Structure 1
Amino acid sequence: MKVGIIGYGAMGAALRETLEEGGAKIVAALGREASLETAKAALPDDVTVTADFAAFAATRPDVMVECAGHEGLRQHGPRALAAGFDLVIASVGALADAPTEAALREAAAKGGRLVIPAGALAGLDALSAARRAGLDEVRYVSRKAPRAWRGTAAETMVDLDGVTAPTIFFEGTAREAALAFPQNANVVAAASLAGLGFDATQVALMADPTVTGNRHLLEARGAFGELSISVLARTLPANPKTSWLAPLSLARAVLNLHERVVV
């Protein structure tokens, strides 16, 4: 199975290891000019590393995977889908921007499949199934160590250096959370798309000095009953904002595209 990766950083490196264990191979990487040398140094010589989408697509991967952030997905996602490639995305939070979501859905309707993995969050299969019967409420709570919120809007909402106990610094809709915290809230977007949507899904974000990883809590109720799922995920050593489960979930979604038995 040949994989083309859009954006090669900490997420891409973690994804590559799992893909190779599953029998897949990265054949091409698409990035910005400024990042090409770093990607070339990290990847085998037979991998095409380029800033040109046409050259990237010419390698004809079986699937493309996006790890480029919101802007990278907005720039390259629609044309990857329009060209007929299946696209598995990491930057799910970008879909909180209505024009971006519309562009991706329109391209997917005419071309390749847009595949949205669960990321670091469990239970999205149950949430999506429960939606068929009707959902009354979906709530997501994120607890991360103060250092995981550095470099984000949280720095203007709470004194990260002074947090000594679990502290909620944001409460609002999933759309607001995903747009305000693009590096931290991709799971918020995934839960929204599986459940009640961006504007009806409620979110609380917390800085918690007591957690040893990233804690995700998903709660829902509706005609099906009630759901409550908690995940404590270890973080990527190179990026505490991202859970190790995120690249593992991406790899699962990629590899499942070619499996004959899918669980």
Structure 2
Amino acid sequence: MRLGMIGFGNIAQTLLKQLAETLEAPLELLAVVTLPELADDAEAHLAAEFAVLADELVVVTDADALLQRKPSLVVECAGHAAVVSHVPPVLRSGTDVVIVSIGALSDAALEVELRSAAAAGGARLVLPAGAVGGVDLLAALGAAGGLEVRYRGSKPPRAWSGTPAEETVDLVNLTEAATFFTGNAREAARDFPKNANVAATLALAGAGFEATRVELVADPAAPGNVHEYSVTSPLAKYTMRIENLPSAGNARTSVSTVYSVLREIRNRIGPVAI
């Protein structure tokens, strides 16, 4: 595989470590897109930590340079701005892209642009389940219509630092669970871009952004990043609760998100996809 990676932060580096431990043979290529000011550090880090992961390691700073390396799959894990800047031209080139920052699609215009770019290039925009389960069932039920989806995301107070939650909740001195946001999935993904990717994933798989109801909670007793949702459809009803450990170095991101992307890559490489 010739793998492109947009971003080289916590998620990307954790993913690459897991790839290095699980792949039976090195990648043909690993090309990483970073900001220009971070390129030198990324090159040094790649050489020091991931030399065995790929036959060729390269750092680039834009989508054009990435595409010159002819990746067979690209993984985005750099945030909403990176989706806007880099993903459309990659899709138009005919290259499939796995997006971690699914909340970026809460921008309706961007969603239309990405779908159009994928169609024009004959590529696929892959939206992994990330930190939540049961997305396959939700997407299947969605074909029948009539869905009602309610999601509640609870995280320790520090995971909400630097977000609008600070305007309504004293995160430092919080002693009990506090719900600071109630609305729809589009509003949640827009206002909490680093925390509400799960809400966007559920919306895209099921009833849509406006019809997916969301509550966000800061809870000092939360055992990790807790995702709970319920689905009612004419075909079935189900509820799900997942308690995720946060990713090392990033309390906002559940570590299972990394493994969800790892699954997407391994399904492309191995003889069986599951």
TM-score range, shorter chain: over 0.9
Shift of 1:212: 2.4
Shift of 1:166: 1.1
| RMSD across aligned positions (CA) | 1.4
1:89–1:117: 8 Å Cα contact kept in structure 2?
yes
Identify which range, 203-212 or 130-139, moves more after superposition.
130-139
Higher RCO, 1 vs 2 (CA within 8 Å, ≥6 residues apart): 1
Equivalence for 1:18: 18
> 3-state DSSP class of the match of 2:220?
coil
Residue 97 (structure 1) aligned to one of 107, 112, 130: 107
Identify which range, 7-16 or 250-259, moves more after superposition.
250-259
> 3-state DSSP class of the match of 1:43?
helix
Give 1:131-210 correspondences, 5 Å limit.
Answer: 131-210=142-221
Tell me the percent identity. Answer: 41
Q: Where does structure 1 lack aligned partners over 5 or more consecutive residues?
A: none
Cα deviation, 1:138-159, whole Å, max 9, x if unaligned, reads 0111010000000111111211
> 3-state DSSP class of the match of 1:99?
helix
> 3-state DSSP class of the match of 2:169?
coil
> 3-state DSSP class of the match of 2:3?
strand
Distance 1:76 1:220 in 2: 34
> 3-state DSSP class of the match of 2:217?
strand
Q: Where does structure 2 lack aligned partners over 5 or more consecutive residues?
A: none
Matched, 1:67 2:70: no
Give 1:78-89 correspondences, 5 Å limit.
Answer: 78-89=88-99
Shift of 1:19: 2.4
Distance 1:64 1:13 in 2: 15
Matched, 1:31 2:34: yes
Shift of 1:110: 1.5
Equivalence for 1:9: 9
Identify which range, 200-209 or 52-61, moves more after superposition.
52-61
Equivalence for 1:110: 120
Matched, 1:40 2:43: yes
1:95–1:189: 8 Å Cα contact kept in structure 2?
yes
Identify which range, 146-155 or 249-258, moves more after superposition.
249-258
TM-score by length of 1: 0.96
Distance 1:105 1:216 in 2: 27
TM-score by length of 2: 0.92
